[in-house]
Amino acid sequence: MTLTQRQARMLADMTTPTPTQHAIQVRGLTKSFKDVEVLRGVDLDVPPGSIYALLGSNGAGKTTTIRILATLLRPDGGTAVVNGHDVTTQAHDVRASISLTGQFAAVDEILTGRENLTLVARLRHLPNPGAIADDMLARFSLTDAGNRRAGTYSGGMRRRLDIAMSLVGNPPIVFLDEPTTGLDPQARLEVWAAVRELAARGTTVLLTTQHLDEAEQLADRIAILHEGRILVDGTLAELKQLLPAATVEYVEKQPTLEDVFLTLVGAPTGAPTPTPAKETR
């Protein structure tokens, strides 16, 4: 598909860096594993206090990018600065500024929710770990389940506990690598509400996802990563302008299966209420 001149200009405007301070800034990032090029010159600018979605299919390089930014991998080339610190020369300072939540909840299922949080607070050498645990349980609506073993939690509850554990110590930047992998629709909405709450408190969130609706619902800005390169980076409104203007059609909107499911079982707190079917005129 060939871009029109207008689309090319819009892409250039959207990918030109601004002089403002960024929570995360990446330039020309490359990474290969043997003969496989995974990242081929990635550029990113993540504003502070925003939700930034890195959208791409399996194998696009999303997790590799996150692992480099979290100092778990060294890049082959390019630069990456997180919270003002270079990921290769100031790795310790980067680690003190971030928290990483992987694709699967990393909670100890033998411990209770409160014990998981208390353990993390103690490992971070924070004062009053019990009070910190209670505060995080309340913040993520887990107080009633705080004294239950985490192994008894639902998928959404475990994921919320996992995110709560990653926020002990209030890191300014949080990486969420496909945070809703394997979750049912209700649990996914619970995690979405938790992510929105993070940004509302000023935390910078960089999340990876292959779900288009997840990026659309959560992100302030979206970058589409394909075969190790960023194809486009912008707000949802900016990305929609890359396509021809929408045509108006008269259709009857039918409820989706997700609408039916959430209406029957009840949407989690903070999630949007499914809209009834209606005819659009």
Specify whether 61 is located in the same domain as 28.
yes
Specify whether 189 is located in the same domain as 94.
yes
Q: How confident is the model at residue 267 (pLDDT cuts 50, 70, 90)?
A: low
In a domain, 172, yes or no: yes
The tens digit of pLDDT for each residue in 35-45 reads: 899 999 999 99
More confident residue, 193 or 90: 90
What's the whole-number average pLDDT of the chain?
Answer: 84
Specify whether 235 is located in the same domain as 186.
yes
Q: What is the count of structural domains for the chain?
A: 2
Listing DSSP states for the chain in one string gives -PPPHHHHHHHHHHHSPPSS--SEEEEEEEEEETTEEEEEEEEEEE-TT-EEEEE--TTSSHHHHHHHHTTSS--SEEEEEETTEETTT-HHHHHHHEEEE-SS----TTSBHHHHHHHHHHHTT-S-HHHHHHHHHHHTT-GGGTTSBGGGS-HHHHHHHHHHHHTTT--SEEEEESTTTT--HHHHHHHHHHHHHHHHTT-EEEEEES-HHHHHHH-SEEEEEETTEEEEEE-HHHHHTTSPPPPP---EEPPPHHHHHHHHH-PPTTSPPPPPPEE--
Specify whether 161 is located in the same domain as 268.
no
Domain boundaries, position 55: 5-107+153-246
Specify whether 190 is located in the same domain as 70.
yes
Mean of pLDDT values over 220-248: 86
In a domain, 120, yes or no: no
Q: What is the pLDDT of residue 280?
A: 46
Over 50: is that where the pLDDT of 18 sits? no
The tens digit of pLDDT for each residue in 66-120 reads: 999 999 999 999 999 999 999 999 999 999 999 988 766 678 999 999 999 999 9
Whichever domain contains 162, its CATH number is 3.40.50.300
In a domain, 133, yes or no: no
**Which amino acid belongs to residue 80?**
A
User: Is beta strand 173-177 parallel, antiparallel or unpaired with respect to 24-33?
Assistant: unpaired
Q: What is the pLDDT of residue 140?
A: 86
Q: How confident is the model at residue 274 (pLDDT cuts 50, 70, 90)?
A: low
Specify whether 227 is located in the same domain as 214.
yes
